[in-house]
């Protein structure tokens, strides 16, 4: 029995050795409101296709781990209430009990690797939350990056997190954090965080080569590719900083803890920016899909020439 089910399009792409880009689904169910969530998911899939790769959105429906969703499955996921937010700890339980689950960065990496997909595009990764010295709230995304050999393209991490601590944990875990085309580690809504990224690469071919080198050396773990938001979609930090502070305070006041923290913060920020954050979010995810498609193409091309 196979652990996962490939969609017809993803199965065809695999058989033809075409480049494939994995996409997560927590962003759909716990990151954006309906119907923008499903519209964005479709747009991001189209962006991957326009850039020469095949999209594989990953989710669990009735316990079945799906690598690539049909349009009807995507709609079902986006509309269903009580979809589990599935990270590494939850994935086997969700599958064994035949529930519906949306995969986080961590769980999407696990599924992508099981299916033989090396590149994955998302918006932002989970990280070390502000106040983690008290709460111990550190996303399982970070340890997954240390364990599973998938290159993840994200727009850095949101300022709802503690960025210096997030970078420290990634360093300890031996995860290469590679800023694309600039020195600064990007901060999701803004291109600059004021913190220099540990590594910088300027070409998809170099990122692909580094990925393949890691695999050849037998090192576990993947790469975090931090791709700055397009200039025209940036939101100024002085607009967002007070809103992030407000949402952080509200989360604390309401006793929001554990896996509810990130979804709470995301939905509060959508409300507090009156949807302005959504436009930027869509632009950066598509930008990441473009870069991921190029990296996936380079990996396939290198393997063909080997
Ligand atoms: N950060 C974002 N957007 C997101 C997420 C994080 O800017 O959609 C989602 C991703 O699925 C990520 C997950 O893997 O939240 C992290 O959740 P936690 O912090 O509970 O590990
Ligand atoms: Mn957490």
184-234 pLDDT tens trace: 999 999 999 999 999 999 999 999 999 999 999 999 999 999 999 999 999
Ligand nearest the Cα atom of residue 106: 1
- What is the distance in A from the centroid of ligand 1 to the CA of 125? 5
Q: Whose CA is nearest to atom 16 of ligand 1?
A: 126
Give, for 151, the enclosing helix (H) or strand (E).
strand 151-154
Which residues are tagged catalytic?
A: 24, 158
Q: Of 24, 27, 161, which is best to mutate to test ligand 1, by the most ligand atoms within 8 angstroms of its C-beta?
A: 27
CA 300, 20, 225, 108 torsion: positive or negative?
negative
pLDDT at 236: 83
pLDDT at 58: 98
Q: Which one, of 76, 75, 147, lies nearest residue 106 by Cα?
A: 147
Residue 123 makes CB contacts below 8 A (sequence gap 6+) with 27, 31, 154, 155, 188, 281, 284, 285, 288
Beta bridge partners of 221: none
Give, for 59, the enclosing helix (H) or strand (E).
strand 54-61
Q: Who surrounds ion ligand 2 at CB < 5 A?
A: 137
Query: pLDDT digit of tens for each residue in the chain (306 aa)?
Result: 799 999 999 999 999 999 999 999 999 999 888 999 999 999 999 999 999 999 999 999 999 999 999 999 999 999 998 999 999 999 999 999 999 999 999 999 999 999 999 999 999 999 999 999 999 999 999 999 999 999 999 999 988 899 999 999 999 999 999 999 999 999 999 999 999 999 999 999 999 999 999 999 999 999 999 999 999 999 988 889 999 999 999 999 999 999 999 999 989 998 998 888 889 999 999 999 999 999 999 999 999 888
Q: Of 22, 29, 31, which is best to mutate to test ligand 1, by the most ligand atoms within 8 angstroms of its C-beta?
A: 31
> Given the CA of residue 107, which atom of ligand 1 is nearest to it?
14
Q: Tens of pLDDT along 105-140?
A: 999 999 999 999 999 999 999 999 999 999 999 999
Say if residues 55 and 87 touch (Cβ distance below 8 Å).
no
- What is the distance in A from the centroid of ligand 2 to the CA of 11? 33
Kindly state if the Cβ of 156 falls inside 6 Å of ligand 1: no
> Given the CA of residue 30, which atom of ligand 1 is nearest to it?
8
């Amino acid at each position: 029995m196979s652990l996962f089910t490939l969609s017809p399009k993803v199965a065809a792409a695999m058989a033809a050795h075409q480049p494939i880009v994995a996409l997560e689904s927590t962003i759909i169910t716990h990151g954006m409101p309906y119907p923008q969530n499903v519209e964005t998911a479709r747009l991001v899939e189209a962006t991957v296709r326009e850039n020469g790769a095949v999209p594989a959105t990953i989710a669990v429906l009735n316990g079945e781990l799906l690598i690539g969703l049909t349009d009807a499955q995507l709609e079902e996921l986006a509309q269903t209430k009580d979809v589990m937010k599935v990270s590494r700890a939850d994935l086997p339980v969700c599958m064994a009990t035949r529930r519906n689950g949306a995969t986080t960065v961590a769980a999407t990496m696990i599924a992508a690797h099981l299916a033989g997909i090396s590149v994955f595009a998302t918006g932002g990764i989970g990280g070390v939350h502000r106040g983690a010295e008290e709460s111990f709230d550190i996303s399982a995304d970070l340890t997954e990056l240390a364990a599973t050999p998938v290159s993840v393209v994200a727009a850095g991490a949101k300022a709802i997190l503690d960025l210096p601590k997030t970078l420290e944990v990634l360093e300890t875990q031996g995860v290469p954090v590679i800023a694309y085309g600039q020195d600064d580690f990007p901060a999701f809504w803004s291109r600059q965080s004021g913190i220099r990224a540990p590594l910088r690469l300027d070409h998809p071919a170099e990122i692909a080569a580094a990925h393949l080198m890691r695999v050849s050396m037998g090192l576990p773990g993947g790469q975090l590719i931090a791709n700055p938001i397009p200039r025209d979609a940036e939101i100024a930090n002085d607009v967002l900083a007070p809103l992030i502070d407000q949402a952080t305070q509200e989360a604390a006041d309401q006793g929001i803890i554990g896996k509810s923290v990130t979804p709470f913060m995301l939905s509060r920020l959508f409300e507090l920016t009156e949807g302005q954050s959504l436009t930027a979010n869509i632009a950066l995810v598509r930008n990441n899909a473009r870069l991921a498609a190029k990296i996936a193409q380079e990996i396939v091309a290198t393997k063909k020439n080997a």
